Structure 1
Amino acid sequence: MSKELVKAMQVLEEEKGISRQVIKEALESALALAYKKNYDQAQNVEVQFDENKGTIKVYSVKEVVETNYDSTLEISLEEALKINRAYEIGDKIKFEVTPKDFGRIATQTAKHVIMQRIREAERENIFEEFSQYVDEIMTGTVERQDHRFIYVNIGRVEAIMPLGEQIPSEQFEPDQRIKVYVAKVDKTSKGPQIVVSRAHNDFLRRLFEQEVPEIYDGTVEVMAIAREAGDRAKVAVRSRDKNIDPVGTCVGPRGQRVQAIVNELNGENMDIIEWNEDPVVFIQNALSPAQVLKVDFNEEAHACIVVVPDNQLSLAIGKRGQNARLAARLTTYKIDIKSESSYADYLEEQAALAIEAQAAAEASQEDLAEELPAETLDQAVEVEDLKLESEPAGEE
């Protein structure tokens, strides 16, 4: 068995990349547990595997103590000195206790350890391989689907697409080939778990990189994405070259580039807008196709009121508020959309509130003056007179 074991360790090292030392240590540890389970659980044992000789030996390790010792774990100093006069209290002495029939247990344990190490090595290789594909698009084959996941074969492994990473309107058939975005790779007790997505914003970003060469080479940059997967998305882009129109570049001749992305996403509507460092302009662009008349900012609250023509209020807000919602996500501002007429009413209300607040403040001051004692008022007058007397006379 030992020669076969040495050969197996050599093959594992060459083909699986598992070092012989790692296997040796794992085997010795497993054999020690097997001995304690089958022979004497109380002993402190150590197993040594000699690769050169092909031998496996079990040792009981005992500590040298002075007196009152546990014979399974300790040995008295008196007994230790009979073995070697150099032993001292605290030293560890090894006694070989290899059972005659230990070869059978060793064989079974070795097979188990080797198979376990092979599985672990394969899992580690898969983890390292697919970790390199995180944030990339891969093409896979749909295997099956349940109420929680779509299972996609992306090579040597099966990836999962959780419900939250799926486009609600999409339905797939077994063996159908689809593009997926590798969102993350996790280590689990059952091996690497690869999570893929079609609803992720970065899936859309990567699709634009595939379809638009200027995005791939960095001439045009995707600055922000807001998306309700399967329905509608807004993509903000800018150009590093003033001679290149970023929106037109992404749309492509006769809309071919953006249409390829829309087709991949089964009809998801796409609004491509130009990014601008000026938040006013950016918000105006984000609310397209609606026309924006005014953007009233509240920087402290990171919010704004956007004014649009009365006949474009519904267009600006969008169906079920979608246009406004996506624009807010894209720009990161809280957006309150008002029609031109309602904004005028809003300004009148704010002006009336300001007048009321001023009147209330003045009334409060008058009430306070009436409540002050007369002598306090006299003192206030005297102080005012002193101030006037101390002021230098103006030039004639």
Structure 2
Amino acid sequence: MNKELLLALEMIEKEKNISKEVLLEAIENSLLTACKNHFGKADNIKVTINPDTCDFSVVAEKEVVETVEDPLTQICVEEAKLKNPRYIPGDIVPVAIQSKEFGRIATQNAKNVILQKIREEERKVLYNEYYSREKDIMTGIVQKNLGRNISINLGRVDAILNESEQVKGEILKPTDHIKVYILEVKDTSKGPRVSVSRTHPDLVKRLFESEVAEVKDGTVEIKAIAREAGSRTKIAVWSNDPNVDPVGACVGVNGARVNAVVNELRGEKIDIINWDENAAYLIENALSPAKVICVVADEEAKEALVIVPDYQLSLAIGKEGQNARLAARLTGYKIDIKSETQAKEQGLFEELGIQYQEDMVDYNYQDDESFQEGEELQEAEESGIQEGEADLESEDPDTQEEA
């Protein structure tokens, strides 16, 4: 071993982030392996390497005997006394093994073991680096299409954006810089296999953490997220500081913060609402921007009846039912939306004990018993959105996150 090897190890340590101590240990093991292959065994052989100079010694510990039967493990008395006159039979004598004794094959074997160890350590370092980013976001560069999947470069590894994790209609071109959510990192013989997503609800959460200091430090919590990637997302936020408005903090001055997230998601609409422990108020907030007359929530059954003004029905339901569908996912409730006219025709106000007034809004009611007594009203024949009703329930529990 020499100065050139020392410089090589220091370069590897710097470029590949593999400690010199790990490499020296690999070299020691490789020399032991070479000894075992060359001599048939290596139990009595010790290898030491000076970490400062990379000078090494390979020593066979031999027993002093009168008659040598195994030259690898034994040394005769006469030869031992040449090293030290005090040696007697039974003593252990360290005998240096010169590297030339290994031969060309042994030397090549040692080299291969060293290279293999370097590859293993490099793979381990890479895996640990990216595994620590699992469930986080990273900026990647679009590389190329792999069938219907897309290769995304994340620096030292290429990740896979599967078709199922791509936003429908989003066009990604080579060299595009995008934020991706790290779904999973697997350790394989070829290095870490990283799967990423552009559709996961937590991508939105992590983007807000990067843009909103109050979210990052925990002052503002994102309590739930419901997302239809590429189209619309609803998030419910809560402040642990009464002096901090959670919605305002996420929106930012002139919408700067939320717009930064929207731009990263390429125009996806984001509704930010206040979280409320009261289910009725939470459902009302979740249906915004629509105005609500009343909400009757059954917390045990996770069902809610919502009555809205006639002119707000289409807004509450949203295009193709999206607003109500996202509200259901956000709250975890099955939501039955009825128009004011239908509620009057079916006698819901009287059934629920609500005194009806023209243009009444924001009447929230939460009572399991009354809800169950009026259960048969919800089982009435529903004739679809055109008739002024929507019955939507929470779908895909993976899209909902509660702190």
Does TM, scored on the shorter chain, surpass 0.5? Answer: yes
Contact 2:290-2:312 within 8 A present in 1 as well = yes
Gapped regions of structure 1 (runs ≥ 5):
60-84, 87-99, 355-396
Contact 1:18 1:121 in 2 (8 A): no
Q: C-alpha deviations, 1:307-357, integer Å up to 9, x for none?
A: 223343332222232222211221122222233315826769977979xxx
Does residue 105 (structure 1) correspond to residue 105 (structure 2)? The answer is: yes
Task: Give the TM-score normalised by the residue count of structure 1.
Answer: 0.65
- Which residue in the other structure is 1:142 paired with? 142
**Correspondences of 1:97-176 after superposition (within 5 Å):** 103-176=103-176
Match of 1:201 in 2: 201
**Compared CA separation, residues 13 and 48, structure 1 to 2 (3 A):** farther
With structure 2 as the length reference, what TM-score do the two structures score?
A: 0.64
Deviation of 1:200 after TM superposition, in Å, equals 2.2
Shift of the 338–219 alpha-carbon distance from structure 1 to 2, 3 Å rule, reads same
> CA, structure 1 residues 54+231, in 2 after alignment: closer, same or farther (shift >3 Å)?
same
RMSD: 4.3
Question: What's the secondary structure of 2:236's corresponding residue?
Answer: strand
- Structure 2 distance, partners of 1:197, 1:353, is 43
Partner residue, 2:291: 291
Determine which of 16, 19, 27 is the counterpart of 1:17: 19
Distance in 1 separating the partners of 2:374 and 2:130: 61
Change beyond 3 A, Cα 1:225–1:4: same
Separation in 1 of the partners of 2:287 and 2:28? 64
Q: What percentage of residue pairs aligned between the two structures are identical?
A: 47
Query: Any runs of at least 4 consecutive aligned residues in structure 1 with deviations exceeding 4 A, and if so which?
Result: 2-15, 28-35, 43-59, 345-354
CA positional deviation for 1:229: 1.0
Amino acid corresponding to residue 145 of structure 1 in structure 2: N
1:231 maps to 231
Deviations 1:215-270 (A, max 9, x none): 34444332221111111000111233434433233223433332222222111011
Find the counterpart in structure 2 of residue 177 from structure 1. Answer: 177
**1:27 is aligned to 2:44:** no
Pairs within 5 Å for 1:1-396: 16-17=18-19, 19=21, 22-24=25-27, 26-27=29-30, 31=34, 103-340=103-340, 341-342=342-343, 344=346
Give ranges in structure 2 of 5+ residues lacking alignment. Answer: 62-88, 91-99, 353-371, 378-403
1:185–1:195 contact (8 Å) kept in structure 2: yes
Note the C-alpha offset of 1:118.
1.1
Letter in 2 for 1:138: M
Amino acid of the structure 2 residue aligned with 1:314: S
In structure 2, give the amino acid aligned to 1:201.
P
Structure 1 SS opposite 2:300: helix
Partners in 2 of 1:298 and 1:207 — Cα distance? 34
* Length, aligned pairs only: 320
Q: Deviations over 1:182-226 (max 9, x none)?
A: 344332221122333322222212222333343344443322211
Task: Write 1 or 2 for the structure with the bigger share of helix.
Answer: 1
- Secondary structure, counterpart of 2:167 in structure 1: coil
Conserved 8 A contact 1:28-1:48: no
Deviation at 1:104, TM superposition (A): 2.4
Quickly say closer, same or farther: Cα 1:301–1:12, change in 2 above 3 A.
same
Shift of 1:172: 1.7
Summarize deviations over 1:124-145 as a string: whole Å, max 9, x none. Answer: 2222333443444332321112
